[in-house]
Structure 1
Amino acid sequence: MTDQTAPSDTAPGPELTVVIVDDHSIFRSGLRSELDPALRVVGEAATVDEAIAVVLATQPRVVLLDVHLPGGTGGGGAEVIRGAAAEAPATVFLALSVSDAADDVVTVIRAGARGYITKSSSGAEVSDAARRVAGGDAVFSPRLAGFVLDAFGAVTGETAATNDELDRLSAREQEVMRLIARGYAYKEVASALFISPKTVETHVSAVLRKLQLSSRHELTAWATARKLL
């Protein structure tokens, strides 16, 4: 295996619990045998659904996560992170994939992975990377760092654009927008906000006009894409 990350000079730390997620059993077995003995593998999984279940059941400190996995709704490693992170708050995710495509890197990092290294890394390098993400570092194979910087730049730009769009709406319009986008009926929104259904309708019309949208379905898609729900 070729060098992908520069192992740190620190001595091995205390035992670290790990889950390996990959749909190839031979790779899981090989990686398990090459990891530092201080990394205790407490579970393995081959699919999205299995991975979420194992992570929630074992609450590992680190998940070594392949990007492309069968099962779930097709979201792969990113779907595992989204499905498990909230109920495993002490767990960190390190993407470990054969892919070095920018889209794969960006997708899994935006989902919440703390690092991304390729499968050409050695067992020692993977072990070191696992310790570093557990310690709070972000770890990436050198040639992938540019993708990550670009992604964070894009996120910053998207956040600024979203804030500009939200600034067009009054505080009440933003409240109505979020409830409507979540699927609430006009009467339900009116009850929740102590206003009349007619007032809700007026606010919705204003929201759609200001955001240049044509229906509540487009509003839901708009809010979902910007993680406002």
Structure 2
Amino acid sequence: MLPPTTPIRLVLVDDHTMFRAGVRTELDTSLPVVGEACDVESAVAVIKAERPDVVLLDVHLPGGDGRGGTDVILGCAGCTTEAGTPVRFLALSVSDAAEDVISVIRAGARGYVTKTISGNDLVTAIRRVAEGDAVFSPRLAGFVLDAFGAAAGEIAEVDEELDRLSAREREVMRLIARGYQYKEVAKELFISVKTVETHVSSVLRKLQLSSRHELTAWAMNRHLL
């Protein structure tokens, strides 16, 4: 995980000036905003010019072919950061419609959160996307899993790796892989945050995985979500 002071260069894309200003006030100094845009064309131009680490992107934007944020992502296919890694996109929208979520994820966004997210959680989401993790507001994760063929609640009958996990570890694993935060898992399962942390560490160790992103991919490949 990146140290909390590691700079992550951002571009903000939203057609509401006041909203972009509000987002700026929620960000700390380790997340410098290097550019802003209000429509598809200006967004593609500033992303190509500034080569940010993360683009915070609204899904409904004027311009382009009328597909909003999807047009921006497709217009920046192949764009890289100053370090040579792919530019990553995090959708931030008032919409929680399945078609909006699925559209930008299929185009290449690494995550999707709604504008009800708190400032602290937004900063965390940006940093996780910069590190390569997939990030979703919990209710939205199901849309993505369903769209990519993951059958909710389906458990593989024969899977040696899965058999290493206890029943409780499987419950925790599914929620973490869906994008839940530790405190949300604790509330859902009526256990403490410390217990969640212990289970997550055990799951990652048993499955020989190193991150939540790898855990999500592992679970989706087995249709466990």
TM-score relative to the length of structure 1: 0.61
Q: 1:91 aligns with which of 84, 87, 94?
A: 87
Q: Which residue of 1 aligns with 2:219?
A: none
TM-score relative to the length of structure 2: 0.62
- What's the secondary structure of 2:92's corresponding residue? strand
**1:53-109 CA deviation, whole Å, 9 max, x = no partner?**
000000000000000000111110011000013133521000000000000000000
- What's the secondary structure of 1:39's corresponding residue? coil
Q: In the alignment, is residue 115 of structure 1 matched against residue 102 of structure 2?
A: no
In 2, the alpha carbon distance for the partners of 1:127 and 1:85 equals 25
User: Does the 8 Å contact 1:21/1:44 carry over to 2?
Assistant: yes
Q: Which residue of 2 aligns with 1:183?
A: none
Q: How does 1:14-163 map to 2 (within 5 A)?
A: 14-88=6-80, 90-153=86-149
User: Does the 8 Å contact 1:23/1:46 carry over to 2?
Assistant: yes
Structure 1 portions without partners, runs of 5+? 1-7, 155-229
User: Does the 8 Å contact 2:78/2:86 carry over to 1?
Assistant: no
**1:15-58 CA deviation, whole Å, 9 max, x = no partner?**
10000000000000000111122100000000000000000000
In 1, the alpha carbon distance for the partners of 2:94 and 2:20 equals 13
- What's the secondary structure of 1:120's corresponding residue? coil
Q: Which has the larger Rg?
A: 1
Give % identity. Answer: 63
Structure 2 portions without partners, runs of 5+? 151-225
Which stretches of structure 1, 4 residues or longer, exceed 4 Å deviation after superposition?
A: none
**1:85-137 CA deviation, whole Å, 9 max, x = no partner?**
31335210000000000000000000000000000112211111010011010
User: Does the 8 Å contact 1:59/1:90 carry over to 2?
Assistant: no
What is the one-letter code of the residue matched to 2:55? V
In 1, the alpha carbon distance for the partners of 2:110 and 2:77 equals 12
Q: Over aligned residues, Cα RMSD in angstroms?
A: 1.6
Query: Relative to total residues, which structure has the larger helix share, 1 or 2?
Result: 1
User: Does the 8 Å contact 2:53/2:130 carry over to 1?
Assistant: yes
User: Does the 8 Å contact 2:14/2:58 carry over to 1?
Assistant: yes
